[in-house]
């Protein structure tokens, strides 16, 4: 198991706590400059935090505090990390098998044995026949497979992936996803993936940690994260469309700028008359051609067709709130939706999730 608790203020702020068990893929997501790569480099020993602790498989890799300073800091070579970079980082003067042999020099003296093991890893990556090719003779996907073979060649205790698929075309990326999924079953080690692509994190990760300005805001399985973000900043960072503001008090949620009031389960965590942010998933919305007892009148502001799916932008006649709704082409036709037309949306209050409303400069958004 990998256990991390890090804190530093300069030069790159970082406040992060997470655990990753063997066989788990844990994704770190957040905007550019949020500290994702800094976290990986600190785990690998390329950076050191001002305080905190890093443990892997029961071994202490790093420990420091404000009183005693750094008391333990294994070098990158002493930490059993496999590190896969975005830009492959292959040695251009070495062929594929020679690149994979590099991390084996300190553990295997025999050149023949190193080459046998390196060839086995290239075979597992499905590129065994390319062993003697130079990096400039390989496609981007093939280079990344060589880099992954090299990262795994010395049987690391953890695998760190720093946006490894971002420079690769979509078909190759899908193929590498399958390779990684198959490897996970056999490796049984913690895997940390840094990515800016939420769809990628949702597809691959068992859990996701959202990082903003160097601070871990929330760790949760993908479904929980997208349906029940911890606060409004998390909701913003994971791209939730339908987020609104209101006031919550004793199970009643009022909607700012509207007379609409929803009955929402009160879990006792939010004081009465507290301004909140709230979200509702797509499954909690339904659109109707005729008015119903619980419906809200909306006007169609925009229709964006994406193949057989249309993204509909609706505007409430009361409060001018924007609601995003996705529908099939058949549904658009059934409801006779067109620009400027009126329709009626119902919201399932049981699927509404309320959370603290925190401005970006409010440090309480990190924990509440």
Q: Where are the domains of the chain?
A: 2-227, 236-280+348-368, 284-347
Task: Tell me the two tokens of residue 177.
Answer: 């996803």
Q: How confident is the model at residue 89 (pLDDT cuts 50, 70, 90)?
A: confident
Taking Cα atoms as reference points, which of 305, 304, 321, 314 lies closest to residue 342? 314
What CATH superfamily classification does 284-347 receive? Nucleic acid-binding proteins (2.40.50.140)
Taking Cα atoms as reference points, which of 219, 220, 350 lies closest to residue 281? 350
pTM of structure: 0.85
Q: What is residue 365's predicted lDDT score, i.e. its pLDDT?
A: 43
Cα separation of 286 and 283, whole Å?
Answer: 8
Measure CA 305 to chain center.
Answer: 27
Q: Which residues, at least 6 apart from 170, have a Cβ–Cβ distance to it below 8 Å?
A: none
Average pLDDT over residues 139-153: 94
Longest dimension (CA), the chain: 79
Q: Which residues, at least 6 apart from 333, have a Cβ–Cβ distance to it below 8 Å?
A: none
Residue 9 reports pLDDT greater than 80: no
Range picked from 128-137, 328-337, 346-355 for highest mean pLDDT: 128-137
Taking Cα atoms as reference points, which of 194, 164, 191 lies closest to residue 23? 191
Q: How confident is the model at residue 361 (pLDDT cuts 50, 70, 90)?
A: very low
Average pLDDT over residues 216-232: 91
Residue 92 reports pLDDT greater than 90: yes
Q: What is residue 123's predicted lDDT score, i.e. its pLDDT?
A: 96
What count of other Cβ atoms lies within 10 Å of the Cβ of residue 281? 17
Q: How confident is the model at residue 367 (pLDDT cuts 50, 70, 90)?
A: very low
Q: Are 47 and 41 in contact (CB under 8 A)?
A: yes
Q: What is residue 106's predicted lDDT score, i.e. its pLDDT?
A: 85
Task: Tell me the two tokens of residue 204.
Answer: 């691959």
Cα separation of 225 and 242, whole Å?
Answer: 15
Which CATH number among 3.40.50.300, 3.30.160.270, 3.40.190.10, 3.40.630.30 corresponds to the domain 2-227?
Answer: 3.40.50.300
Mean pLDDT of the chain: 90
Q: What is residue 170's predicted lDDT score, i.e. its pLDDT?
A: 84
Q: How confident is the model at residue 358 (pLDDT cuts 50, 70, 90)?
A: low
Residue 286 reports pLDDT greater than 70: yes
Residue 268 reports pLDDT greater than 80: no
| 28 burial level (CB within 10 Å; 0-12, 13-18, 19+) | buried
Taking Cα atoms as reference points, which of 137, 123, 161 lies closest to residue 28? 161
Cα separation of 227 and 166, whole Å?
Answer: 26
Strand order in the sheet with 322-328: 285-288, 342-347, 296-306, 309-316, 322-328
Length of the chain: 368
Cα separation of 79 and 153, whole Å?
Answer: 14
Same fold, 2-227 and 284-347: no
What count of other Cβ atoms lies within 10 Å of the Cβ of residue 248? 23
């Amino acid at each position: 198991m990998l256990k991390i608790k890090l804190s530093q203020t300069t030069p790159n702020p970082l406040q992060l706590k997470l655990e990753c068990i063997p066989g788990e893929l844990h994704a770190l997501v957040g905007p550019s400059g949020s500290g994702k790569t800094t976290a990986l480099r600190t785990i690998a020993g390329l950076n050191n935090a001002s305080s905190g602790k890093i443990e892997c498989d029961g071994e202490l890799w790093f420990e420091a505090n404000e009183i005693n300073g750094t008391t333990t800091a294994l070098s990158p070579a002493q930490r059993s990390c496999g590190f896969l970079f975005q830009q492959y980082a292959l040695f251009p003067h070495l062929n594929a098998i020679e690149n994979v042999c590099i991390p084996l020099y300190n553990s295997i003296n025999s050149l023949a044995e190193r080459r046998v093991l390196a060839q086995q890893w290239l075979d597992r990556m499905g590129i065994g026949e390319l062993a003697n090719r130079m990096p400039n003779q390989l496609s981007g996907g093939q280079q990344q497979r060589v880099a992954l073979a090299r990262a795994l060649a010395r049987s690391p205790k953890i695998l760190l992936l720093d946006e490894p698929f971002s420079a690769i075309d979509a078909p190759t990326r899908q193929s590498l996803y399958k390779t990684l999924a198959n490897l996970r079953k056999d490796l049984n080690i913690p895997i940390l993936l840094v990515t800016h692509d939420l769809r990628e994190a949702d597809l691959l990760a068992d859990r996701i940690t959202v990082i903003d300005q160097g601070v871990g805001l929330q760790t949760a399985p993908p479904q929980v994260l997208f349906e029940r973000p911890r606060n409004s900043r998390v909701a913003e960072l994971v791209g939730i469309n339908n987020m609104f503001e209101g006031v919550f008090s004793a199970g009643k949620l009022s909607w700012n700028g509207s007379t609409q009031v929803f009955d929402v389960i009160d879990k006792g965590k939010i004081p009465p008359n507290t301004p909140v942010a709230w979200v509702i998933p797509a499954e909690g919305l339904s659109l109707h051609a005729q008015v119903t007892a619980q419906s809200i009148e909306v006007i169609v502001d925009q229709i964006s067709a994406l193949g057989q799916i249309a993204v509909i932008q609706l505007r409430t006649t009361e409060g001018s709130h924007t609601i995003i709704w996705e529908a099939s082409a058949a549904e658009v036709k059934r409801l006779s939706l067109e620009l400027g037309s009126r329709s009626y949306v119902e919201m399932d209050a049981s699927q509404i999730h309320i959370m603290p409303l925190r401005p970006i400069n409010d440090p309480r958004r990190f924990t509440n």
